[in-house]
Amino acid sequence: MFTGIWMMDFSLNYLLQFSVILALIVLLLVVVGVHVSAYTVDQTRHEKEKHFLTADGKEESFPSLMDPPSLELSVVVPSYNEEIRLPVMMDEAMEYLEKRQKEKPSFTYEVIVVDDGSKDKTTEVAMKYTKKYGAQKVRVLTLVKNRGKGGAVRMGTLSSRGRLILMADADGATKFADIENVEEGLESISEKPDNMAISCGSRAHLEKESVAQRSMFRTFLMYGFHFLVWFFCVRGIKDTQCGFKLFTREAALKTFSSLHVERWAFDVELLFIAQCFDIPVVEVAVNWKEIEGSKLVPFWSWLQMGRDLVFIRLRYLTGAEAPVRLTPRRSLHPNTRAVHLQSARDSAFRCFAELPDYSDCYSTRHIKIKRLAAGRGGLFYTRLYLGCTEIN
């Protein structure tokens, strides 16, 4: 009898140990898979993507987000096969913007329509507005290949001239005049470190009505996605997916420069990056209505978004990707210097970060540097000798 009990305990212990080992192996495989699946977002532009056409057909170069702002507002409109829905949105937007400029001549703006590799006549439709209003007000950026909504927004944002940058969907689901709401939200943020802030349009107040109109399956997917967003990435924002967001130029540069996801879940990563950098984010209610012709396929798109959410979190945790964040331990000297950071694994990878000069600090520490332009791999450590000693 005792022998049987002993054998049972032995079997249970063996099974428990085997389960733990198996779980560790699975976790290791997941981590390796995340690193292997990490990819570099192609920041380079095709030659055709570096220019836009003026009303008379002449080519001019797009500016850079690194340049100082020359306008008050830039509106970035990602568009994929939107020849039918785009005119409705553009008519509403241009009517509002033109009226606002007449009332306040100092208000200057531009609309950048980003054709995300469309197969229809989206570019031709958008160019009609360039010919009507001029290239100083409406510019068309035609991408050579489809990048996804996040990639289109990023490319348009990096080509903008505005002090403020609004991202707005081409379907016109959000009432364009509600830009005043998100502007007020931006102004309500009293403390803007380095002039960085984000105001997000929100449909959270319409959730009950939305649930009533949707099938039980779509409602289940919606709540499941919200849970994954809350659990893995962003907390405090009820509606991360509303395509109506306003950025200060500085916040756009900080977040879009670190963006990796180019498909539907890019909004979540943007807000996740903002939280990493302690960029203030406010959520503002906007008017919204369902527009037919959505490119979002309910099941497969939500499945892809859920996968991206899990991978975003795991990649940042394991170092496959993340924004560089250096936090000095001592008071800053007014002068700053550019520090060269180099990966031990990939000698070709380089990153430049601003590190304050220290006048009397001789201590050392490890600072974890995550690869911004991550290829395969990601995490490496650089010992920084603060003060007089240089990085090797």
Nearest to 366 by CA among 350, 384, 341: 384
Q: Residue 243: its pLDDT value, please?
A: 82
Which of residues 318, 353, 376 is at a domain's end? 318
Q: Same domain for 271 and 307?
A: yes
Tally of domains within the chain: 2
Contacts of 59 (CB under 8 A, 6+ apart): 51, 52, 53
Residues 366 and 240 occupy one common structural domain: no
Query: Is 355 contained in some domain?
Result: yes
Alpha-carbon dihedral sign for residues 153, 159, 163, 169: negative
Give the count of alpha carbons within 13 A of 36, CB side only. 6
- The 3-state DSSP class for residue 295 equals coil
Q: Which residue has the higher pLDDT, 320 or 264?
A: 264
The reply to whether 225 and 298 lie within a common domain is yes
Distances 330 to 281, 341, 360, 362 between C-alpha atoms, Å: 27, 21, 10, 11
Three-state DSSP state, 198? strand
Q: pLDDT, tens digit, for every residue of 239-273?
A: 777 889 999 999 999 999 878 777 767 888 888 88
pLDDT (tens digit, 9 = 90+) per residue, 88-123?
Answer: 999 999 999 999 999 999 999 999 999 999 999 999
Examine the domain organization and report whether 297 and 350 are in the same domain: no
pLDDT at 202: 86
Instruction: Please check whether residue 280 lies inside any domain of the structure.
Output: yes
Q: What pLDDT is attached to residue 50? A: 95
User: Is 9 inside any structural domain?
Assistant: no
For 358-386, what is each residue's pLDDT tens digit?
333 333 333 333 333 333 333 332 222 22
The verdict on 199 and 267 lying in the same domain is yes
More reliable by pLDDT, 347 or 66: 66
pLDDT at 360: 32
- E strand segments, the chain: 51-53, 59-61, 71-79, 109-115, 138-142, 162-168, 198-202, 244-248, 281-285, 336-342, 350-356, 364-370, 379-385
The H or E element that residue 118 is part of is none
- Mean model confidence pLDDT for the chain: 73
Look at residue 57 and tell me if it is in a domain: yes
The CATH number of the domain holding residue 72 is 3.90.550.10
Same domain, 171 and 229: yes
Smallest CA-to-CA distance from 240 within 201, 213, 296 is with 201
pLDDT at 161 over 90: yes
Q: Is residue 295 part of a domain?
A: yes
Residue 237 has what pLDDT? Answer: 79
314 and 340 both lie in a single domain: no
The neighbour count for residue 364, using CB atoms within 10 Å, is: 11
- The angle, 0 to 180 degrees and rounded to 10, between the axes of the packed helices 149-157 and 249-256 is 130
Q: Give the DSSP letter string of 252-292.
A: HHHHHTT----STTHHHHHHHHHHHTT--EEEEE--B---S
Examine the domain organization and report whether 209 and 309 are in the same domain.
yes
**Residues written for the chain:** 392
Model confidence at 283: pLDDT above 60: yes
Mean pLDDT, to the nearest integer, of 75-83? Answer: 96
Model confidence pLDDT, tens digit, residues 200-244: 998 765 555 554 345 555 565 666 666 766 666 676 777 777 889
Is the same domain home to 83 and 214? yes
Check residue 129 and give its pLDDT. Answer: 98
Question: 149 and 191, same structural domain?
Answer: yes
Q: Which of 287, 318, 349 is the last residue of a domain?
A: 318
Greater confidence (72 vs 312) lies with 72
Asked whether residue 94 is domain-assigned, the answer is: yes
Same domain, 110 and 163: yes
* Domain region containing 371: 336-385
Query: Does residue 37 lie in a domain region?
Result: no
User: Are 209 and 252 in the same domain?
Assistant: yes
Say yes or no to pLDDT of 156 above 50.
Answer: yes
Domain assignment present for residue 5? The answer is no
The domain boundary residue, chosen from 260, 287, 318 = 318
